[in-house]
Structure 1
Amino acid sequence: MSLHITDDTRQLKQDSIFLRTPQNEEFMESLPPNIRIIERDELTDYFKTDIKIIGITGTNGKTTTAAAIYSVLLDMGYKVALLGTRGMFINDVRRKPKGLTTPSLLELYEDIDVAATLGCDFFVMEVSSHAIKQERIYGLNFCLKILTNITSDHLDYHKTWEDYAKTKLQFLQSGECPKIINLDDKSGASMRFYPHVLTYGVESKGNLSVNAYGLQDGIFAQINLRLHKQKDSKQYDDISKRECVLESELFGLFNLYNLMAATLAIHAITNKDLQTICTYIKNFGGVSGRMEIVSKQPLVIVDFAHTTDGMQQVFEAFKTRNISVVFGAGGDRDVSKRQKMGACARLYAKNIYITNDNPRSENPLSIAQEIAKGVFNGVDTQEDIRENTQYKLQLKGTALNVQIVLDRAEAIRLALQELPKDWILLILGKGDENVQIFKDNEVHFSDKECVQTILNSNY
């Protein structure tokens, strides 16, 4: 596109067109007098949007669900774009590096334009609560919307759980396209009787349900699909029934939920039969940094889990194993979850290494001590819990070893060094991130690379 459209006054050129948004309204008076201004409704005059857009929102599961849909559609022969936390991909080629889960409105329209110009059939995107609240998806015509679940997160921005949940649900409540919800999630289930809603569940019986499942060595589930589209209606009745086995090498109940959401979505947008979809789902190998096995001997898994619910889901996947865990919490983010994360780790892990995540402008030790309060059952440990000191606890007859090791690489090295035979080490919080953010700088850091370096050195 030869035209230069911007929403940032700092990027203005002589012939620029300026997009007015809620985020830049306060800068409008400083614009040069001859600059042409357009409104958000005019974006479709400049960018192609004739593509089927699939939006996935939810506290956990967005990335894996989106990636599964993208992967299966590609395997089926469609041309597909994927946009989310890991960047932008078109037809299996990375087009943009990692960034915001959902970019600015203008950047999003630019991305969709690129995908449409390249002939993509579908544009699969993650939709964050920030993007919904800030209207960064304004004017987009979705062909399908998905809500995976709603648990506590981002309260540093939304301030209250009610506002966070309302924002997520607002995305589902608008538009005439089909919406997919998780019946086992209380917030999602509240929408089950809304128009154009399709449902899935493991415990609850929805349009896509589970008869039986096992999670011992990956996922093995007998699932059934009950759908009947009435004439001149997008409503579905429990009339026709289709069954098949859903298999995957992925771990955990939460990944069963993710794959069910993806399966139902793919059926809704392609009308492919359930058996065909499950065959392709089996080939989906997961997402880097999401329940990723980075070593089998010893067994080490890296995951992005950075909320209490996310951590619990990972722990539950390995609850029959003895667990060591390395994790921290992000600075300048929701502080209310820190003690809860510590309490969650206490219930599942026997060796707990509290370390830096991305401390940003906060004092790293203070963050770690907040987490430690949760591990120590809420007792004020500000003066007692020190860095690089091992504390032994007894919880219902189980011995716990707890340490604060702020250097993340050292925490991982120590956890590997002290890992008993046949235990599992979980490294949580950063997933496939490759930077660590401090007050004054960013440094390269990858949990996966760190583990591999330590193991290769025989630690």
Structure 2
Amino acid sequence: MIIKKNINYKSKTFKILTDDTRVALENGVVKEEALLVRSKQNMAFIPSDFPQENLIESCDLGKVLLDSIPGENPRIVGITGTNGKTTTAAIIYSLLLDLGYKVALLGTRGFFINESTIKPKGLTTPSVLELYENLSFAKAKGCDYFIMEVSSHAIIQERIAGLNFELKILTNITSDHLDYHKSVEEYRRVKNSFFEERGLKLINADEKYAQCQDQYGDIGVFYYGVEKKGHLSVGAYALESGIDAHIAWRDNKECSQESCALQTYLYGKHNLYNALAGIAAVKILTNKPLCKIAQAMENFGGVSGRMEVVHHKPLVIVDFAHTHDGMKQIFESFRHQKIAVVFGAGGDRDKSKRPKMGACAFEYADKLYITSDNPRSEDPSEILQDIASGLPKECGRKLVVMEVDRKKAIIQALNELQENEVLLILGKGDEDCQIIGNNKIYFDDREVVREYYKS
């Protein structure tokens, strides 16, 4: 990435700020006007004789990109977890906007400020230089809060270096990205390492792999839970048509301080957790009355591609769930209905999760349509076989269809869908392309469904 502007650093003025060594060097010679960001990602490419005066550590970027802008820095809220980051971040963003704050949101869906789209979809957490550029833009726009998703890759690659988080949130920890982290234990360690520094933390009390529950106790740590009591807890709740619950906020875990009703059209128990995380975060940040925050929750319409209802009667839902745990959360939301599911697994990614996804789908669904996701460089048929290896040899009365062509699989599922069934199309969410080999082909699950019912 390149930022072309006058940058004052250590009594020198530079015209280019970049994290790309190829930009900072010309024919092997350092450009005098270039200031190179040294990060964990580019460290191996920086020559040993690179002038120190032309280097800036990633953790010092705030000095050159934020300090020059008048006013207070936005208060940064970081959300990490295997599932729920995008929806939780969107809920916090929506609630704070409804309460009258100026807010920026950065994550899988893009970069937004006060309901305007600044940048389209990208990495969950961008490069450290792009992150600071976004943060400086939010400060220039007068944002009170900067809400961001924090991926495990970003933590281990130090893409959040130097950031001072007002609040850190943990949604859950299952397993994902084992192609990168190599083991579940390492993945959990990385996620938990995000919470090692001092500062406010909001933790899912029902998450058994949250180490900080043991490490930090109650000092600066807030909890929310459904099964276990936390600072924000749930009494009775119903999930038949959206979420209808009674919630209570406690300054400590014994004395009830505030309680109110929570109603939202979001589907599923996992979204109850997301709603609790969002409400608790806003309560911690603003100390507004709980009833006022819960009231604002009614205005939240959900996130595109996350439990998105594409058709009613029969019910067709598209969701981004791409791990067996994410799928289980979706299935649990419809456990009293007959379920048909279309799903696959990404190529060139963690192969160990494929049979687990197959086993999970077989446990809950009556009809399974196993198909391609983004096969990338892998043979799609082999990916389908990996998924099917998690199924029992005898499928009984369940329907199992193997169809490499995702569009054909969706259409077959729609043709065979009954009025009393729900069809879940999982894995891609609001993605609008399919990656086959090195090619990106336009494809949108939701569009296939809409075109089917139009015709």
Same fold (TM over 0.5): yes
Deviation at 1:275, TM superposition (A): 0.3
Aligned amino acid, residue 207 of structure 1: H
Q: In 1, distance between residues paired with 2:177 and 2:161?
A: 21
Q: Is the 8 A contact 2:36 2:54 kept in 1?
A: yes
RMSD between superposed Cα atoms in Å: 1.6
The residue number in structure 2 matching 1:44 is 62
Instruction: Please say which of residues 25-34 and 15-24 is displaced more in the overlay.
Output: 25-34
Structure 2 match to 1:277: 293
SS in 1 for 2:294: helix
Which secondary structure state, in structure 2, belongs to the residue aligned with residue 187 of structure 1? coil
SS of match in other structure, 1:29:
coil
**Which residue matches 2:395?**
393
Which of 243, 258, 262 aligns to 1:219? It is 243
Encode CA deviations 1:300-349: one digit per residue, 9 max, x unaligned.
00000000010000001011111111000001111111001001111111
Shift of residue 190, structure 1, vs aligned partner = 5.1
The aligned counterpart of 1:8 is 20
Provide the rounded CA distance (Å) in 1 between the counterparts of 2:65 and 2:231.
36
Per-residue displacement from partner, 1:278-307 (whole Å, max 9, x unpaired)? 000111111000000011132100000000
TM-score, normalization by structure 2? 0.91
Read off the aligned partner of 1:153 and give its amino acid letter. Answer: D
TM-score, scaled relative to structure 1: 0.91
SS class of match (1:44): helix
Q: Which 4+ runs in 1 deviate beyond 4 A?
A: 30-35
- 1:150-189 alignment, distance < 5 Å: 150-174=173-197, 176-188=198-210
Secondary structure of 2:349's counterpart equals: coil
SS at match of 2:276: helix
- 1:386-441 CA-partner distances (Å, limit 9, x unpaired): xxxxxx821xxxx1111111111111111101112221110000000111111121
Alignment of structure 1 residues 203-214 onto 2, 5 Å: 203-214=227-238
Amino acid at match of 2:122: G
After superposition, give the CA deviation of every residue in 1:171-224 in whole Å (9 maximum; x if it has no partner): 0121x3210001111012751515211001101011111111000111011111
SS in 2 for 1:22: coil
1:436-455 to 2 correspondence within 5 Å? Answer: 436-455=434-453
- Alpha-carbon displacement from aligned partner over 1:360-401 (angstroms, at most 9, x marks no partner): 1111100001111112x2x5xxxxxxxxxxxx821xxxx111
Could you tell me how far apart the structure 2 residues matched to 1:242 and 1:19 are? 47
Work out which of the residue numbers 23, 27, 46 in structure 2 matches 1:28. Answer: 46
1:449 match: secondary structure: helix
The answer for the alignment partner of 1:412 in structure 2 is 410
SS in 2 for 1:100: coil
Q: Which residue among 313, 318, 325 is the counterpart of 1:297?
A: 313
**Does the aligned pair in 1 maintain the 2:195–2:212 contact within 8 Å?**
no
Q: How far, CA to CA, are the matches of 2:212 and 2:386 in structure 1?
A: 34
Matched letter for residue 434 of structure 1: D
Alignment of 1:132-151 (within 5 A): 132-151=155-174
In the TM superposition, what are the counterparts of 1:75-94 in structure 2 within 5 Å?
75-94=98-117
Q: What is the alpha-carbon distance in structure 2 between the residues aligned to residue 190 and residue 36 of structure 1?
A: 39
Aligned partners of 2:121 and 2:167: how far apart in 1?
24
Give 1:335's aligned residue: 351
The 1-side partners of 2:432 and 2:131 are apart by 24
> Which residue of structure 1 lines up, in the alignment, with residue 426 of structure 2?
428
Three-state SS of the structure 2 residue aligned to 1:257 is helix
C-alpha deviation, 1:12, in angstroms: 3.3
State the SS of the aligned residue for 1:262.
helix
**How far off its partner does 1:272 sit?**
0.4
Q: Which runs of 5+ in 2 are unaligned?
A: 7-14, 26-30, 68-72
Structure 2 residue corresponding to 1:201, chosen from 225, 229, 244: 225
Query: Identity percentage over the alignment?
Result: 54
User: Is 2:260 aligned against 1:244?
Assistant: yes
Indicate if the aligned counterparts of 1:16 and 1:35 stay in contact, CA closer than 8 A. Answer: no
The equivalent of 2:12 in structure 1 is none
Q: How many residues are matched?
A: 430
Q: Per-residue deviation at 1:237?
A: 5.8
**Aligned partner of 1:422: which letter?**
N
- Matching residue of 1:357: 373
- Give the structure 1 partner of residue 70 of structure 2: none
- Indicate the SS of the match to 2:270: helix
CA contact (8 A) 1:299 1:423 kept: yes
The answer to whether the 8 A contact 2:172-2:204 is kept is: yes
SS in structure 1 at match of 2:126? coil
Q: 1 CA distance for matches of 2:49 and 2:315?
A: 58
Shift of 1:35: 7.8
- Measure how far apart 1:28 and its partner are: 1.0
Q: Is the 8 A contact 1:325 1:352 kept in 2?
A: yes
Q: Secondary structure at the match of 1:326?
A: strand
Q: Distance in 2 between matches of 1:408 and 1:31?
A: 52
